[in-house]
Structure 1
Amino acid sequence: MKTSKVLTSAANSEPTCAISAIRQSKLLEIALSGDWVLDARLPPLEPVLTQIETKTVEKIIVSTKALGRWDSMLVTELIKLIDYASQKGVAVDKSTLPASIQGLLTLVSAVPERVDAHRDQTRTSWSQALTVSTGKAVQHGKEMLIFVGEMIISTFATLRGQAHFRRQDLWLYIQECGPSALPIVTLISLLVGLILAFVGAVQLSLFGAQIYIANLVSLGMTREMGGLMTAIIMSGRTGAAYAAQIGTMHVNSEIDALKTMNLDPMAFLVLPRMLALIIIMPLLCLYADLMGIIGGGFVTVNFFDVSLTEYLDRTASAVKMKDFIIGFVKCSVFGILIALSGCMRGMQCGRSASAVGDAGTSAVVTAIVFIVVADSVMTVICNRLGI
């Protein structure tokens, strides 16, 4: 019988833990003592593993009579010991361990670790990253074309009476994206009008031309900012809601149920939402223009030497019908893009809870990108046409 050296912690201020191993013929008894907690200094397992390496040990018994406090650190060390003994063909008697430790070891061994659980991080070159990004962009473009094509087919089928379209759903969605959005549209439009008035006044006051603040605010709101800010608000409010609603239906297999009942999901779910947003967006744009002009008038009349009559007169002379029409058309296009982005991302959603959140985020990002690009293109076209 041979007794190995007892390994203990060197720091007396720290919780101590110790291992002692006694080998008798082909039996190895490992005694654990002290407190095996996370703040304790671990004694090395190498001397014990060296005795297992000698091929003369057939069975290991673990004694915990002198064991104090313990936590997951002890279980981790036991797992290392059991795995090494298993590789060497040495049996480990777990019956001497406390029942709680035996339960934890049983849970660990019940489900084996996945082979691909630890993935190595590989660095890719910029050319490979560019190729992957280009491939993803092409794939997204194909998916968008497929969605638009299905939407057009469903629209014609609805017009011919061959698709199930619920008119009451249309009015419900108009209520959700129209009157329900008035408070946030009112606040943002008033603030944008205030900002335009203050920014313009700083420069115009250098020339004593504060009267032209009305021109700046009215033209800026009707041609650009009214429709643009409304579209951004609706993309975050309504576009994300559409993506989350339809994505949740995907998760709950409700869309599969509609297909089973021979109902076209595009006509039943997507078309009412798109029509509601296309109808309500121009009206919200006109309302935002009005609120922005009111906000600019509040600043101009109260902080600068301009009367309310002068402000209204300059606004009426500066804004023409074509300016309202340009903003109206832009906001109509924005409504189509927001509805397209929200519904498309919802229909492309995966079947998990995280996928619903990803669909909402992707819908907002896609809608804002489309809005900015479309606004830039339409502004350039208007400039080239002289309108």
Structure 2
Amino acid sequence: MSGLASPRPAGVAEWTVSRRELDRPVLVLSGRWTVATTREAPGEVASRMHEVLGEPEPFGIDCARLDEWDSLLVATLWRLRALRGFDPVELDLPPPLRRLLALTTSPGTDLRMPTVPVIRRSIVAHTGTTTLDAIAGLGGIAMLAGTLLRGLWPRRTPAGSREPGMQGRDLLDIFRRHGPAALPIIGLVNLLVGAILAFIGAAQLRRFGAQIFVTNLVGLALVRELGAVITAIVLCGRTGGAFAARLATMGANEELDALSVLGIDPRRFLVLPMTLALVIAMPLLYLYATAAGLLGGMLVAVNLLDLSASSFATQLVDVVPVSQFGFGLGKSVLFGLLIGLVSCRIGLLAGRSAAAVGDAATRAVVASIVGVIVLDSVCAVCADAVGL
């Protein structure tokens, strides 16, 4: 932009100051005052105008030579008004420009971004809000579970046709991608967990000559707790995040809205096969994970404690009853249901942007892991109450 008299190419934004009408300064604007043709910030231009105009006094604006203007000119005059304190209604401006300036702040107002007041909440208020949010989330999960339970039975429309719902091929495809495909990682993790438990137990029990009891430690820990919990945590990261990201992406692409318009309930069509496949896969993965963990413990016991594989297996059968396997299988079913419901609900409620997809996946993984740990503690308390 120009100051008092800088030649510029035709069409660019220019301004000069002249003295007319009883020696009153007049700001003459010409050219194209648009964002596309101007690189300087409105605040810088307004500051230079203020310096050239001198002491604050009444002045006019000549806009007869303007070729084009947009929000850049509004912002510049807005800032200039704050510096000099004039009323835009009294200026010789085009009516649209005058109306836009009239909608801005009052004269003399600092045009910096307003400061948002920081609301400081007490620990009690924060805890109460978090608790209410958690209760609301549990209620939403319960409602989703009820909807999926009703979706297991096909319903008839008023026209007599069956309402669209879960497809069997979708269930098999999801089961294949999140069941057998997860065997390598689950087997490796549980094998190492079993080996670590046996190694820790061997280091302590060898002092008392009670190496055989390492079988008790590894067997009960894996069958009762770690087999199901470790498998569930792996699936939280591998499957829960994938479910949430898939549903969030479909929401961002308006695919969920398209299904609703076609009369297809996304919860029955998408969430039900995801959750059901996970409920079916979890007990099978639990048995596989437990076997892998016991194998890792046996390898350590045979190589470090000079125990035979037959003695390890015999001791395992004596100390781990079938009821413990039943307890682990029941927990694995609950874990699969929890991961499916939590992940799918977070995916359905995600925002419609690329960032929301990543946020939904992260929240699903974290919420699922926390839910698995909490549910496992509840199951442990209940099992102790019934003497299991």
Same fold (TM over 0.5): yes
Structure 2 residue aligned with 1:252: 253
- 3-state SS, counterpart of residue 54 of structure 2: helix
TM-score, length-scaled by structure 2: 0.72
CA distance in 2, matches of 1:218, 1:382: 18
CA distance in 2, matches of 1:324, 1:115: 66
CA distance in 1, matches of 2:178, 2:114: 45
Using the TM superposition, give the Cα deviation of residue 321 of structure 1 relative to its aligned residue in structure 2, in angstroms: 1.7
Using the TM superposition, give the Cα deviation of residue 361 of structure 1 relative to its aligned residue in structure 2, in angstroms: 2.1
Query: Is 1:51 matched up with 2:32?
Result: no
Q: What is the RMSD of the two structures over their aligned residues, measured on CA atoms?
A: 3.8
Using the TM superposition, give the Cα deviation of residue 273 of structure 1 relative to its aligned residue in structure 2, in angstroms: 0.8
8 A Cα contact 2:50 2:80, kept in partner: no
- Over residues 342-382 of structure 1, what are the superposed CA-to-partner deviations in whole Å (9 max), with x where a residue is unaligned? 11111222222222222222222222222122212222222
Using the TM superposition, give the Cα deviation of residue 118 of structure 1 relative to its aligned residue in structure 2, in angstroms: 4.5
TM-score, length-scaled by structure 1: 0.72
CA distance in 2, matches of 1:216, 1:292: 12
- 3-state SS, counterpart of residue 55 of structure 2: helix
Within 5 Å, give how 1:74-93 maps onto structure 2.
84-85=83-84, 87=86
8 A Cα contact 2:225 2:328, kept in partner: yes
CA distance in 2, matches of 1:317, 1:205: 21
Using the TM superposition, give the Cα deviation of residue 88 of structure 1 relative to its aligned residue in structure 2, in angstroms: 6.9
Within 5 Å, give how 1:225-374 maps onto structure 2.
225-374=226-375
Q: 1:53 to 1:144 in 2, by over 3 A?
A: same
8 A Cα contact 1:154 1:163, kept in partner: no
- 3-state SS, counterpart of residue 153 of structure 2: helix
- 3-state SS, counterpart of residue 350 of structure 1: coil
Query: Is 1:145 matched up with 2:148?
Result: no
Using the TM superposition, give the Cα deviation of residue 386 of structure 1 relative to its aligned residue in structure 2, in angstroms: 2.5
8 A Cα contact 1:53 1:88, kept in partner: no
CA distance in 1, matches of 2:168, 2:236: 23
Report which stretch shifted further, 311-320 or 333-342: 311-320
CA distance in 2, matches of 1:139, 1:202: 47
Structure 2 residue aligned with 1:40: none
Using the TM superposition, give the Cα deviation of residue 241 of structure 1 relative to its aligned residue in structure 2, in angstroms: 0.8
Report which stretch shifted further, 350-359 or 247-256: 350-359
CA distance in 2, matches of 1:337, 1:191: 26
Q: 1:133 to 1:218 in 2, by over 3 A?
A: closer
What is the percentage of aligned positions where both structures have the same residue?
Answer: 36
CA distance in 2, matches of 1:256, 1:115: 41
CA distance in 1, matches of 2:51, 2:26: 9
8 A Cα contact 1:227 1:327, kept in partner: yes
CA distance in 2, matches of 1:115, 1:135: 37
Structure 2 residue aligned with 1:99: none
Using the TM superposition, give the Cα deviation of residue 78 of structure 1 relative to its aligned residue in structure 2, in angstroms: 11
Using the TM superposition, give the Cα deviation of residue 170 of structure 1 relative to its aligned residue in structure 2, in angstroms: 0.7
Q: 1:325 to 1:369 in 2, by over 3 A?
A: same
Structure 2 residue aligned with 1:125: 122
Report which stretch shifted further, 269-278 or 352-361: 352-361
